[in-house]
Amino acid sequence: METRTALVTGAAQGLGQEFAVALAGRGYRVAGLDLVAQPQTAAKILDYVELTADVTDETQVRQGLERVIDRFGTLHVIVNNAGVYPHKSFEETSVEEWRRIMRVNLEAPFLVTRAALPYLKAAGWGRVVNIASSAVLTAPPTMVAYVASKMGLIGFTRSLATALAPYGITVNAIAPSMVRTATAERTVGADGGFEYVREQQAVRRTQEPADLVSTLLYVVDEGSGFLTGQTLNVSGGSAFI
C-alpha cells in the first residue's frame, strides 16, 4: 500500500495536534493548516508540512493544498478540525459573531474539502472527517450559533457522503463532548463548563484529546470503506443516539 497523506486543520494545538501526531504515528505523511504557527506540532512529527493560513480564505486554502501536493505528490485524508465555540447567550450574539462562527465551523470545511477533492479523486481513495459536537444533541442554551453550525456540518457530512461514494471517498463526522484543550479552558472552562458537562456524562471525567484518536484512526482505516455518512458520538454517554 502506498504511503497515505493527511491534512489536518487547526493543527497547532489541542485536538488537531493530537490527530496530526496520531496519523503520523500510523505512517501517514501529515500536513497541518492553522491560522498560527505550529512549532509544537512540527517538533513531534518527522516529516511535516506546516501551513499557516486562514481556513475561511479560499485562496489561502488552495495555495496551502498546492504546497502539500508539491511536497508529497498526493492527498488521501482531510480532517476538518478547526473551529470556534464562543460561550454567549443568544441575545448577546451579534450578527458578526454569528457569521464568523458559521464561516469557521461550516464554510471552512466546505472550502477545504472542495479544494482537496481533485486530489482525493486522483488518488482513487479518500477519507473526509469532520469534527462535529455532541452539543447538537445536548443543546446548551449559551451556544446556539455553535450548535447550529455543527448541525449544519452533520448535514454536510451526510449529503457529501452520497455525492463522493462513487469515487471511493468516505465522509464521516466525529462528535466529541467538551474536550480539554487550551481554547476550551479559556472560553468555557472558567465558567464551570467542564463540571457542567461531566455531570451529564455516564463517564464522569473530562474528555481529553487522546480519547478521540482511536475513533479517528478507525474512520480513516483502509478497512472502513463501508462506513460513510455517519456521525460517531464519542461523548462519554452525555447524549445517546
Per residue of the chain (241 residues), give pLDDT as tens.
579 999 999 999 999 999 999 999 999 999 999 999 999 999 999 999 999 999 999 999 999 999 999 999 999 999 999 999 888 899 999 999 999 999 999 999 999 999 999 999 999 999 999 999 998 988 888 889 999 999 999 999 999 999 999 999 999 999 998 777 766 666 665 566 667 777 777 787 887 889 999 999 999 999 999 999 999 999 888 755 4
Which entry of 146, 167, 196, 218 is annotated as an active-site residue?
Answer: 146
Q: For residues 135-144, b (16+ Cβ closer than 10 Å) or e, as one string?
A: bbbbebebbb
Query: For the packed helices 144-164 and 108-123, what is the interaxial angle rounded to 10 degrees?
Result: 20
In Å, how far from its chain's centre is CA 133?
A: 10
pTM of the model: 0.93
What integer pLDDT is reported at residue 241 of this predicted model?
40
Q: Is residue 146 among the annotated active site residues?
A: yes
Residues 135 and 173 sit within 8 Å (Cβ to Cβ): no
What integer pLDDT is reported at residue 184 of this predicted model?
65
User: How far, in Å, CA of 68 to CA of 29, rounded?
Assistant: 10
